[in-house]
Amino acid sequence: MESFSSKSLALQAEKKLLSKMAGRSVAHLFIDETSSEVLDELYRVSKEYTHSRPQAQRVIKDLIKVAVKVAVLHRSGCFGPGELALAARFRQKLRQGAMTALSFGEVDFTFEAAVLAGLLTECRDALLELVAHHLTPKSHGRIRRVFDHFSDAGLLTALYGPDFAQHRGKICDGLRKLLDEGKL
């Protein structure tokens, strides 16, 4: 007997459609204004650091695709109790990373690339574990690419250096606002 699930089919279609539409203009429909500003600033940092507009665009586009897909999975109730615990752990690690990034930005001479890179790696691993049975290997590759890019010690060192102070300030302002509003 053939198994058919309209809910599963609708979820697949929604994920496919959203992955095709993950540009900056569409991101504003799914991501709040503050998150969008942080993403725009991360794009600028990425572009200046890599000297590659296409690479910076690819990383941010991948980040948006993953965020939207995980949100769709969560909203659709696809995560079981064990996976919800993983989601909570991921969120806690992401919050810890944001608070650490803020602390490094606000207190002079405290920045350690290895600490922030380690937190981002833990976030990556928790997210990969969470979506292991829900997303394709291609999406897993996107997750790795995004987290590996932003946990690069050279990028982090540049971000906390004098040349990126303006970008860092805007990112920290956005992170602080997201934390204060409970969105992160």
With beta carbons less than 8 A apart as the criterion, state whether 105 and 161 touch.
no
**CA-closest candidate to residue 66, choices 149, 139, 164, 158:** 139
Is 21 domain-assigned?
no
Q: How confident is the model at residue 1 (pLDDT cuts 50, 70, 90)?
A: very low
Percent of the chain with pLDDT over 90: 62
Q: Does residue 3 lie in a domain region? A: no
pLDDT in tens, 68-87: 888 888 888 888 999 999 99
Alpha-carbon span 135 to 62, nearest angstrom: 13
Instruction: Write phi, then psi, for 12 (nearest 5 degrees).
Output: -60, -45
Domain that holds residue 167: 31-179
Write the DSSP symbol of residue 78.
Answer: -
- How many Cα atoms within 13 Å fall on the side-chain side of residue 128? 17
Number of structural domains found in the chain: 1
Confidence of residue 19 (pLDDT cuts 50, 70, 90): low
Whether residue 17 lies inside any domain: the answer is no
pLDDT in tens, 88-140: 999 999 999 999 999 998 887 788 999 999 999 999 999 999 999 999 999 99
Q: Can you tell me the mean pLDDT for 24-34?
A: 64
- Domain containing 157 — which CATH number? 1.20.1440.160
pLDDT digits (tens, 9 = 90+) for 33-58: 888 889 889 999 999 999 999 999 99
The pLDDT of residue 7 is above 70 = no
Q: What is the pTM of this model?
A: 0.82
pLDDT reading at 5 higher than 70:
no
Q: Is residue 12 part of a domain?
A: no
Helices (H), the chain: 6-20, 24-30, 33-50, 53-75, 81-106, 113-131, 137-150, 153-159, 165-180
Confirm whether 2 is domain-assigned. no
**Residue 162 falls inside a structural domain:** yes
Within-domain flag for 22: no
At 128-184, the pLDDT tens digits run: 999 999 999 999 999 999 999 999 999 999 999 999 999 999 999 999 999 998 888
Tokens 């997750």 label which residue?
143
Question: Are 50 and 180 spatial neighbours (Cβ–Cβ below 8 Å)?
Answer: no
